[in-house]
Amino acid sequence: MDDRRVGWHTGAVASSRSIGFAKGHGTENDFVIIADPEGELKLSDDDVAFICDRRAGIGADGVLRVVRSQYVPDWGGDQDLWFMDYRNHDGSTAEMCGNGVRVFARYLIENGLADGPMINIATRDGVKPTEALGDGRYRVAMGPVIVDQPEVAVQPAGLEMPLPARAADVGNPHAVSFVDDLEKLDLRTAPTWSPVLRFPDGVNLEFVRRIGPRHIAMRVFERGSGETRSCGTGTCAAAAAAAVEAGQTERPVSYRVDVPGGTVEVELHDHQSYLTGPAVIIATGELILPG
Ligand SMILES: N[C@@H](CCC[C@H](N)C(=O)O)C(=O)O
């Protein structure tokens, strides 16, 4: 039997660390949530990759560490809030996670850490006011989405020609391409983009098919996580790019965005966007980290 499992039953493995976790998802973009209110837990990139490993670990697209903002060295805000320390599957950090922040809000409320229905959640992209709608859905004020000209070329495996893409900033970086057929895209390997220096820290790549005037479908290849079944910031980028492509200048304008893991709604206002979608907590348990 694996040593870590022996340790689980006997507590005899001195070199392992046992930590409580919850598992949740938003439209099947899934996360391991770890409470660390006073910022005592040091999670290396390898620790996060181990937790996210779908065979050796719990399995997830990312990790959400739940920590008071006063214990986050780089947090510049003056309020003490719950901070969502988001890590991708490979351990890298990201500024924001739109599905993660909804799951984070649900976790806070269900564990008595926040009252709701309105919670201000601190992220590396600032404070995200999040509202529990009472029906399992959460509505997040995501901030503005800034869409550029289609100046990027994205090359997925198997396509003869690169796709034109618009850069979109949702706090984290995105590039959105429009396609006629989402099913035939091969996203098992990372698409490349050019110019490479347009995104020196990497980029999330969205592929979008228009279904109706305010309805799109999307697949995504996420920076640090690969293809996922949904990306909340990506749906905001996709909706904003779709509105620009269609010349829809009226605000607010709302989009239904279908992703492989479900459906979300994106509302685009003049200087704000809102993401509404489900958040689910599916399990809690104890995790044994090696080392
Ligand atoms: N899945 C997330 C985005 C997570 C971060 C992203 N991979 C990045 O590195 O920017 C979402 O729901 O927004």
The predicted-structure confidence for 70-85, as pLDDT tens digits, reads as follows 999 989 888 899 999 9
Please provide the average confidence, as pLDDT, over all residues in the chain.
94
Separate counts of helices (H) and strands (E) for the chain: 4, 19
Residue pair 255/211 in contact (Cβ under 8 Å)? The answer is no
Residue 52 annotated as catalytic: no
pLDDT in tens, 212-248: 999 999 999 999 999 999 999 999 999 999 999 999 9
Q: What is the distance between the alpha carbons of residues 4 and 289, in angstroms, rounded to a whole number?
A: 8
Distances in whole angstroms, Cα of residue 156 to Cα of each of 41, 164, 213: 38, 11, 26
Backbone angles phi, psi at 106, to 5 degrees: -65, -40
Q: Please enumerate in sequence order all residues whose Cβ is within 8 A of that of 40, keeping only pairs 6 or more positions apart, or say none.
A: none
Ligand 1 site residues (CB inside 6 A) read 29, 88, 94, 97-100, 172, 204, 222-225, 228, 231-234
Q: Please enumerate in sequence order all residues whose Cβ is within 8 A of that of 29, keeping only pairs 6 or more positions apart, or say none.
A: 61, 62, 97, 99, 100, 228, 229, 230, 231, 232, 261
Picking from 200, 159, 149, the residue whose alpha carbon sits closest to that of residue 179 is 159
| CATH value of 3-139+278-289 in 3.10.310.10, 3.30.413.10, 3.60.150.10, 3.40.718.10 | 3.10.310.10
Q: Answer whether 3-139+278-289 and 146-271 agree in fold.
A: yes
Determine the pLDDT at residue 51: 98
Over 50: is that where the pLDDT of 13 sits? no
Picking from 95, 17, 116, 46, the residue whose alpha carbon sits closest to that of residue 83 is 95
Nearest C-alpha to atom 4 of ligand 1 is from which residue? 97
- Domain positions in the chain are 3-139+278-289, 146-271
Exactly one of 231, 241, 257, 259 is catalytic; name it. Answer: 231
Q: In angstroms, what is the span from residue 99 Cα to ligand 1's centroid?
A: 8
Q: What is the distance between the alpha carbons of residues 170 and 131, in angstroms, rounded to a whole number?
A: 19
Over 90: is that where the pLDDT of 16 sits? no
- Average pLDDT (247-253) is 98
Exactly one of 33, 97, 243, 257 is catalytic; name it. Answer: 97
Percent of the chain with pLDDT over 90: 91
Determine the pLDDT at residue 8: 34
Predicted confidence band at 15 (pLDDT cuts at 50, 70, 90)? low
Over 60: is that where the pLDDT of 263 sits? yes
Instruction: Please state, as a whole number, how many other Cβ atoms lie within 10 Å of the Cβ of residue 127.
Output: 16
Q: What is the distance between the alpha carbons of residues 164 and 154, in angstroms, rounded to a whole number?
A: 6
Over 70: is that where the pLDDT of 2 sits? no
Percent of the chain with pLDDT over 70: 95
Q: Does domain 146-271 sit in CATH 3.40.50.300? A: no
Q: What is the distance between the alpha carbons of residues 261 and 213, in angstroms, rounded to a whole number?
A: 22
Q: In angstroms, what is the span from residue 62 Cα to ligand 1's centroid?
A: 9
Nearest C-alpha to atom 3 of ligand 1 is from which residue? 97
Query: In the numeric block, which tokens belong to residue 267?
Result: 């509302």
pLDDT in tens, 165-185: 999 999 999 999 999 999 999
Over 70: is that where the pLDDT of 4 sits? no
Which of the listed residues 89, 102, 172, 264 should we mutate to test ligand 1's pocket, taking the one with most ligand atoms within 8 A of CB?
A: 172
Residue 97 annotated as catalytic: yes
Determine the pLDDT at residue 7: 31
Q: In angstroms, what is the span from residue 232 Cα to ligand 1's centroid?
A: 7
pLDDT in tens, 36-66: 999 999 999 999 999 999 999 999 999 999 9
Instruction: Please state, as a whole number, how many other Cβ atoms lie within 10 Å of the Cβ of residue 90.
Output: 15
